[in-house]
Chain A
Amino acid sequence: MTFEYAPAPESKAIVSIKPKYGHFINGSFVAGKKHFPTINPATEEILSHISLGGASDVDKAVMAAQKAYTKTWSKLSGKERGKYLYRIARILQERAREFAVLETLDNGKPIRETRDIDIPLVAAHFFYHAGWADKLDYAGLGHSPKAYGVAGQIIPWNFPLLMLAWKVAPALATGNTVVLKPAETTSLTALLFAEVCQQAELPDGVVNIVTGDGSTGAAIVNHPGIHKIAFTGSTDVGKKIARAIASTEKKATLELGGKGANIVFDDAPIDETVEGIVNGIFFNQGHVCCAGSRLIVQESVAEEVIEKLKVRMAKIRVGDPLDKNTDLGAINSKEQLVKIKELSAIGDAEGAERWSPQCNLSSKGFWFAPTIFTGVTQANRIAQEEIFGPVLSVLTFRTPQEAIDKANNTPFGLSAGIWSEKGSRIFWASQHLKAGVIWANTFNKFDPASPFGGYKESGWGREGGKHGLAAYLKTGKETGAK
């Protein structure tokens, strides 16, 4: 007897995608000059054409944002700003299905994740920050913290709308206006969000969205009218931004790469640990900066953990992202697929042992089977470099101190996981791990109330929670107060 799940695709009928999009500047859509195609990475079908924003588009957007800041947004009370944020949050909830389908089409991630994780978290971020808008005086940041003015925000393709929410919600709550650039391959949900801003009757120019590539992002970073940069993306680009804004008064938060260590002690709850390992590295095709991409497992249980992990990996359903039963969707772009393949080939060449379950991958679109490498050491590139795909490197340790040493032996420091049933060990390990986010007996859990960000080359500053607010506010003497 077999229990085959019949296809259960979510309907595409709920979204209407225009053949061509412009930028969203000063409350309306304005035509772009040059366009580039955006595709569905699961089928390679062209979904639409996106405008390539140039310096003049960015300039118009910054002007609009400045004007909106001076004329309207900075004059509104926190309570009034909060009303807009609540309104946006409610509209996002009402249109959740539409956003989920569009995100899945444009990004390639499974509908189960956009429906159950991305979009609910997006709404949660707006609700959470809406609540802060009129309480900033009580956020522990001193008396009357002040907005910076115009925030330039550049976001990645892995969680397109969620990263927009992480950026836009705190910026607006704290009284800043925004010029945002979505990632080149995933602009569609940001453009739909622009419609939500219109629907919410957000004052013109408070949110401006300029689409484009790296050159568009550079124009935002270098524009003199920008007061604060918020960037999520690669460490390489993050370093370029840091150089570009050096010796300017621009503030920045940078959320960059990672090589998260998922540490499994011998007293871990093994079945749930295996789930956590799967969730740590195969969630969102491993396109997660805080992914648990290094499994560091105690040698005495390594065999059992790896055996169970393989059994579990064989159950991962890879395929049509719109199918409600899909666990692992498409790789976001051809470029990313090439990177994943290259680093995996290096893993082979370095002598690590590669294993993947049998998967029937479609010949159209960009796909990579869930993969683990065993027998990996610290000296392997796949233990050091961010792969940003569904590829797990497995290392072992003998003593708790060795686990910590290995976990910290990386230029990154974004996330880590600890699996143990012993509370004291969890506290000890979390005190010694150099990572901005540490999960105990779980992984990849997000909450708008919890600050997120990295140590070392994983970034500057925090997003979310009270700490995230501080990144958008002048405090103390910065405000001009004596």
Chain B
Amino acid sequence: MSFYGLVDGSEKSLITFLDQLSGVDQVGAEARAAMLATRSIKTSSKKWAIETAISMVDLTTLEGADTPGKVRALCSKAVRPDPTDPTVPSVGAVCVYNDMVKIARTHLDSIGGEHVPVAAVSTAFPSGRASMEVKIQDTQDAINAGAAEIDMVIDRGAFLAGKYGVVFDEIVKIREVCGDKAHLKVIFETGELVTYDNVRKASYLAMLAGADFIKTSTGKVAPAATPPVVLVMLEAVRDFYGMTQRRIGVKPAGGIRTTKDAIKQLVLVNETAGPEWLTPELFRIGASALLNDLLMQRMKMSDGYYASPNYVTID
């Protein structure tokens, strides 16, 4: 077996590959992210950034209390984020638990949202603590129900124990289940991996194993998508493209709640991976509350004043 001609899939080849990656200096990475956060995005560029960010939102509900009614409401919002303004783009995807996929897909199709994919969290999300059989079945179920995107979690316990082969094999197996039916996003839970060196290693493990996207977090653990974590992941996809000519997407999720946060993320993309990544095919933002802030800022830009929050729908 060969993965991009870079590793043969054995743990030994993975360790050899990961060991030759350069380390990440924590202070330097954080300083770079902080500097990029000072970029001042105004007027026409802000308008463009808000529109683009809306189209990149993976509108998410991942609660034990999710009901069919809640999921249908989320789908309606996803297709037409601002019902009074048809020029607002639909979001990137709707992201739900496995058992809500069919409800979401059916409802999206019935309201003219065929173009909005459903993403399902998978592999015993959010902990990833289940047998491989269960993880495969979890993923297969979601695909059967109409999920076009699978957001799997890695086994952080195996990763932190240095069992890179276990992590890699799981991703490869889930990739096989996805086949050509679903895009695969691999969630690291960076708040549990803790160091930037680990984030870089996990990024390469996932990309080598066939991920289409690498994703920071489940949204259940803090810190999540901090700018330096996203910076390190963007450097990884940039350099992986240099090695393989394949562009892998990045999805920060968790903690991005305001337009300002979202624009900072787009600046990171623009100045790290490059403008080629500024498309929903290669960059998504996992969020729920963010969408309304983007809509309010969009209204403010066109009207010149902040409207009451009641001018945007709560779901």
Taking a contact as CB atoms under 8 Å apart, the answer to whether B42 and A272 are in contact is no
Q: Counting CB contacts under 8 A, is A6 at the interface?
A: yes
Q: Which chain A residues lie closer than 8 Å to B22 at the CB level?
A: 267-271
When the two chains form the complex, which single residue of B27, B38, B44, B48 contacts A441, counting CB atoms closer than 8 Å? B27
Q: Indicate with 1 or 0, residue by residue over B271-287, a CB within 8 angstroms of chain A CB atoms.
A: 10001001100000000
Taking a contact as CB atoms under 8 Å apart, the answer to whether A1 and B29 are in contact is no
Q: Indicate with 1 or 0, residue by residue over B194-228, a CB within 8 angstroms of chain A CB atoms.
A: 00000000000000000000000000000000000
Distance of A4 Cα from B23 Cα, bound (Å): 32
A:235-272 near B, CB below 8 Å: 267-272
Q: Indicate with 1 or 0, residue by residue over A365-381, a CB within 8 angstroms of chain B CB atoms.
A: 00000000000000000
- Chain B at the A interface: SS class: helix
Q: Which chain A residues lie closer than 8 Å to B46 at the CB level?
A: 6
Q: Counting CB contacts under 8 A, is A360 at the interface?
A: no
**Residue of B with least CB distance to A271:** B235
**Residue of B with least CB distance to A115:** B38
Distance of A116 Cα from B36 Cα, bound (Å): 13
Distance of A2 from chain B, by nearest CB (Å): 6
Given the interface contacts A3-B48, A4-B45, A325-B39, does A269 sit within 8 Å of B278 by beta carbon?
A: no
B:86-101 near A, CB below 8 Å: none
Taking a contact as CB atoms under 8 Å apart, the answer to whether A1 and B278 are in contact is yes
Taking a contact as CB atoms under 8 Å apart, the answer to whether B49 and A275 are in contact is no
Taking a contact as CB atoms under 8 Å apart, the answer to whether A8 and B42 are in contact is yes
Q: Counting CB contacts under 8 A, is B31 at the interface?
A: yes
Most buried by B among A8, A272, A275, A442: A272
Taking a contact as CB atoms under 8 Å apart, the answer to whether B24 and A272 are in contact is yes
Q: Counting CB contacts under 8 A, is B270 at the interface?
A: yes
Q: Counting CB contacts under 8 A, is A364 at the interface?
A: no
Given the interface contacts A3-B49, A112-B38, A116-B38, does A275 sit within 8 Å of B271 by beta carbon?
A: no
Q: Counting CB contacts under 8 A, is B66 at the interface?
A: no
Q: Counting CB contacts under 8 A, is B41 at the interface?
A: yes
Q: Which chain A residues lie closer than 8 Å to B271 at the CB level?
A: 315
Distance of A324 Cα from B43 Cα, bound (Å): 14
Q: Count residues on chain A whose CB falls below 8 Å from chain B CBs.
A: 25
Q: Count residues on chain B whose CB falls below 8 Å from chain A CBs.
A: 29
Q: Indicate with 1 or 0, residue by residue over A284-318, a CB within 8 angstroms of chain B CB atoms.
A: 00000000000000000000000000000001000
A:1-23 near B, CB below 8 Å: 1-8
A:340-366 near B, CB below 8 Å: none
Taking a contact as CB atoms under 8 Å apart, the answer to whether B24 and A269 are in contact is yes
Q: Indicate with 1 or 0, residue by residue over A111-123, a CB within 8 angstroms of chain B CB atoms.
A: 0100010000000
Q: Counting CB contacts under 8 A, is B25 at the interface?
A: yes
Q: Counting CB contacts under 8 A, is A421 at the interface?
A: yes
Q: Counting CB contacts under 8 A, is A276 at the interface?
A: yes
Q: Counting CB contacts under 8 A, is B28 at the interface?
A: yes
Distance of A102 Cα from B267 Cα, bound (Å): 28
Distance of A112 Cα from B39 Cα, bound (Å): 9
Q: Which chain A residues lie closer than 8 Å to B45 at the CB level?
A: 3-6
Distance of A257 from chain B, by nearest CB (Å): 27
Q: Which chain A residues lie closer than 8 Å to B279 at the CB level?
A: 1
Distance of A403 from chain B, by nearest CB (Å): 18
Given the interface contacts A8-B40, A275-B32, A324-B38, does A3 sit within 8 Å of B25 by beta carbon?
A: no
Distance of A349 Cα from B38 Cα, bound (Å): 40
Q: Which chain A residues lie closer than 8 Å to B42 at the CB level?
A: 6-8
Q: Counting CB contacts under 8 A, is B259 at the interface?
A: no
Distance of A361 Cα from B281 Cα, bound (Å): 35
Q: Counting CB contacts under 8 A, is B292 at the interface?
A: no
B:62-101 near A, CB below 8 Å: none
When the two chains form the complex, which single residue of A2, A268, A270, A421 contacts B275, counting CB atoms closer than 8 Å? A2
Q: Which chain A residues lie closer than 8 Å to B41 at the CB level?
A: 5-6, 8
Distance of A271 Cα from B23 Cα, bound (Å): 9
Distance of B97 from chain A, by nearest CB (Å): 32
Distance of A231 from chain B, by nearest CB (Å): 32
Distance of B203 from chain A, by nearest CB (Å): 13
Q: Which chain B residues lie closer than 8 Å to A275 at the CB level?
A: 28, 31-32
**Residue of A with least CB distance to B44:** A6
Taking a contact as CB atoms under 8 Å apart, the answer to whether B52 and A1 are in contact is yes
Q: Counting CB contacts under 8 A, is B250 at the interface?
A: no
Taking a contact as CB atoms under 8 Å apart, the answer to whether A269 and B28 are in contact is yes
Q: Which chain B residues lie closer than 8 Å to A5 at the CB level?
A: 39-41, 45
Q: Counting CB contacts under 8 A, is B266 at the interface?
A: yes
Distance of B1 from chain A, by nearest CB (Å): 28
Distance of A1 Cα from B45 Cα, bound (Å): 12
Taking a contact as CB atoms under 8 Å apart, the answer to whether B278 and A3 are in contact is yes
Distance of B262 from chain A, by nearest CB (Å): 13
Distance of A269 from chain B, by nearest CB (Å): 4
Q: Which chain A residues lie closer than 8 Å to B275 at the CB level?
A: 1-3
**Residue of B with least CB distance to A1:** B278
Taking a contact as CB atoms under 8 Å apart, the answer to whether A441 and B28 are in contact is yes
Distance of A414 Cα from B25 Cα, bound (Å): 25
Q: Which chain A residues lie closer than 8 Å to B32 at the CB level?
A: 271-272, 275
Q: Which chain A residues lie closer than 8 Å to B44 at the CB level?
A: 4, 6
Distance of A325 Cα from B45 Cα, bound (Å): 12
Q: Which chain A residues lie closer than 8 Å to B48 at the CB level?
A: 3-4
Distance of A430 Cα from B46 Cα, bound (Å): 46
Distance of A275 Cα from B46 Cα, bound (Å): 26
Q: Which chain B residues lie closer than 8 Å to A8 at the CB level?
A: 40-42
Listed in ascending order, the chain B residues whose CB lies under 8 Å from chain A are: 22-25, 27-29, 31-32, 38-46, 48-49, 52, 235, 266-267, 270-271, 275, 278-279
A-B contact pairs, 30 of them (CB 8 A): A1-B52, A1-B279, A2-B275, A3-B45, A3-B49, A3-B267, A3-B275, A3-B278, A4-B48, A5-B39, A5-B40, A5-B45, A6-B44, A6-B45, A8-B40, A8-B41, A267-B22, A269-B25, A271-B24, A272-B25, A272-B32, A273-B28, A275-B31, A275-B32, A324-B40, A325-B39, A325-B40, A421-B23, A441-B28, A442-B27
Closest 7 pairs between A and B when the two form their complex, measured CB to CB: A272-B28, A8-B40, A324-B40, A272-B25, A269-B25, A270-B22, A6-B45
* 15 extra interface residue pairs, beta carbon distance < 8 Å, beyond A1-B278, A8-B41, A112-B38: A3-B49, A3-B52, A3-B267, A3-B270, A6-B45, A270-B22, A271-B28, A271-B32, A273-B25, A276-B28, A324-B39, A421-B25, A441-B27, A442-B27, A442-B31
